[in-house]
Amino acid sequence: MSVADAAPSVLRIGLITVPHHFDPRNAQDFVSNFLVAQIFETLYRPPRGGAAPLPMLLAEPLRLDSAPGQPQVYSAPVRPGVVFSDGTPLDAEGVVASLTSSRLFLQEAAVEADGGRVVFRLERPNARFDLVLTQRFASVLRDGGGGAAAGGLVATGPYMLAPDSRPEQPHLVRNPRYHGTVGIDELRCTVYPLDDDGKPTALVQAIEAGEVDFCNVLAREQVGTIHRVRKWLEPGSSTAFLYFNTEREVLRDPQVRRALALGIDRSAVTKVCYPNPMAFSATSVLPPLMGRWQDGIAPDPQSAARLLRTAEGAKPERLSLLLTWGPRPYLPDPPGVAAVLAAQLGELGIEVEVVPTGDSEVYYRKIARGDYDLALAGWIADTPDPADFLEALLGPDSIPTPDRPMVVHANLARWRNADAARALAQYRADASPAARDRLKDLVSQEVPLLPLMYGPTLYVYTPRLQDFEPSPLGIPLLHEARLE
């Protein structure tokens, strides 16, 4: 049998939720971003192993075209020979058309074509602009044409959606016009819904039965008993938080928020998800991938009660706690964690109403409206740059609204602080340790959110998956691997 006649290599992937968006400009949930990354390319490839990001759709690294002290301007030519899946060649004008269709990208830079080069005029100083060009909202795409990835969009990446692809069984096939090597012909995904207790029992059983080759959506404790598979674990690039909605009257006083934080034992909360809580219990906003701060908050119920008695704001009698719709890498058991938080705050005389959300649409709608007092959720790093992580969580422009998706807007505390905004801008411009320490002090004083636990990055895969290179950010590029 010739190579042309050989059966296609198929990687079977296990998921626990359906993807909700195949448009990289709007993909919000982890599963959507994971699949989008296999279809759409960015101008720079995401960094790995501590190395700097490298040009992917650009022919060379960015060139600085502005003088010191002037607004930053960069440029680079487009990589020759790249075509979209419908056969349309990629050129500088095509890159500009794609990037100008991304509202999130336009917050970072203006872009234009000039003599075959793509020119970026930054809206603000950014010491790591190359990392912006690795983010999925900066993916290169175009509308229309045959072989559309989804919703009429076409891409230059290694895969495209197959005609038989369905939300509960996404099916990606090789892009025949891809400019690189593809080691696996097809990615066939199956969604294994959670059971009534919110556990991924069906997915774990499918892995044990040999029906799944690859999975990156389970927690460490959920795969502890699975055998005959390979497991790859990194300290993690995500943090789970208890967010205090600072727009609510009862939570506007920082002293009240600090009191609530002091009433929470993070080790006991983390023990719901991990038997060794000391390894995962959070001590600061930043996940281990980016180094750790010490926020100085330790459980102290007596001090919490005293602060509530003396605070300018009235003690809350009842608070709503909004849950994310399902397990996340940083939060394997949202209902279990919520129950412990409610019990601990109950010791302070505060009744907590836990508000579950059945799916991501309900969750994001409530988040956009600010329809909660407390929110139990978290954030997964999009890049290894702490400035991106901190800006998504603390920036005043990162507050979700109905007309602004949560793609990089994770300020669920809805916290507006002028000093923090200035420190973020400074840290973005020059990665100043002084600016970072100022942010640390402000978060510890104001307590807009309480870090609870860190989420490890975990991959489970069968030995037949060869040359697999994990990504610490949780989203690998699977076309670079192969199957035995």
* Reported confidence tier of residue 146, pLDDT bands at 50, 70, 90: very low
Query: Does pLDDT of 144 surpass 80?
Result: no
Chain-centre distance for alpha carbon 287? 12
For 378, residues 6+ apart whose C-beta sits below 8 A from its C-beta are: 238, 239, 240, 241, 324, 328, 330, 331, 452, 455
* Reported confidence tier of residue 314, pLDDT bands at 50, 70, 90: confident
Are 145 and 154 spatial neighbours (Cβ–Cβ below 8 Å)? yes
* Reported confidence tier of residue 147, pLDDT bands at 50, 70, 90: very low
Other C-beta atoms lying within 10 Å of the C-beta of residue 58: 21
Instruction: Name the least confident of 116-125, 196-205, 397-406.
Output: 397-406
Condensed to tens digits (0 to 9), the pLDDT of residues 6-21 reads 788 999 999 998 888 8
Query: Does pLDDT of 405 surpass 80?
Result: no
Condensed to tens digits (0 to 9), the pLDDT of residues 419-469 reads 999 999 999 888 888 998 999 999 999 999 999 999 988 899 999 999 999
Query: Does pLDDT of 238 surpass 70?
Result: yes
Report the predicted TM-score, pTM, of the whole model to 2 decimal places.
0.86
pLDDT of residue 189: 97
Instruction: Name the least confident of 114-123, 140-149, 207-216, 288-297.
Output: 140-149
DSSP 58: B
At 142 the three-state DSSP class reads strand
pLDDT of residue 473: 84
β-partners of residue 401 are 404
Tell me the domains of the chain and their CATH numbers: 9-39+157-229+462-484 (3.40.190.10), 41-151 (3.90.76.10), 237-456 (3.10.105.10)
More confident residue, 458 or 346: 346
End-to-end CA distance of the chain: 17
Query: Does pLDDT of 142 surpass 70?
Result: yes
pLDDT of residue 64: 95
CA pair distance 373, 318, nearest whole angstrom: 9
For 7, residues 6+ apart whose C-beta sits below 8 A from its C-beta are: none
| Percentage of the chain lying above the pLDDT 90 cut | 68
Residue 259 zone, left/alpha/beta (φ > 0; ψ -120 to 50; rest) = alpha
Of the candidates 120, 115, 63, the one whose C-alpha atom is nearest the C-alpha of residue 91 is 115
Condensed to tens digits (0 to 9), the pLDDT of residues 200-232 reads 899 999 999 999 999 998 887 788 788 889 999
More confident residue, 158 or 475: 158
Condensed to tens digits (0 to 9), the pLDDT of residues 37-68 reads 999 999 999 887 667 889 999 999 999 999 98
Outline where DSSP puts E strands in 26-158: 44-45, 54-55, 63-64, 73-77, 109-114, 117-122, 142-143, 153-154
Query: Does pLDDT of 1 surpass 50?
Result: no
Q: Element (H or E) spanning 344, and its range?
A: helix 334-346
Highest mean pLDDT among 51-55, 71-75, 103-107, 473-477: 71-75
H helices of 44-197, in order, are: 92-99, 103-106, 129-132
What average pLDDT score do residues 177-194 get? Answer: 95
pLDDT of residue 151: 60
Per-chain mean pLDDT for the chain? 91
Between the CA of residue 68 and those of 62, 72, 397, 427, what are the distances in Å?
Answer: 16, 8, 27, 18
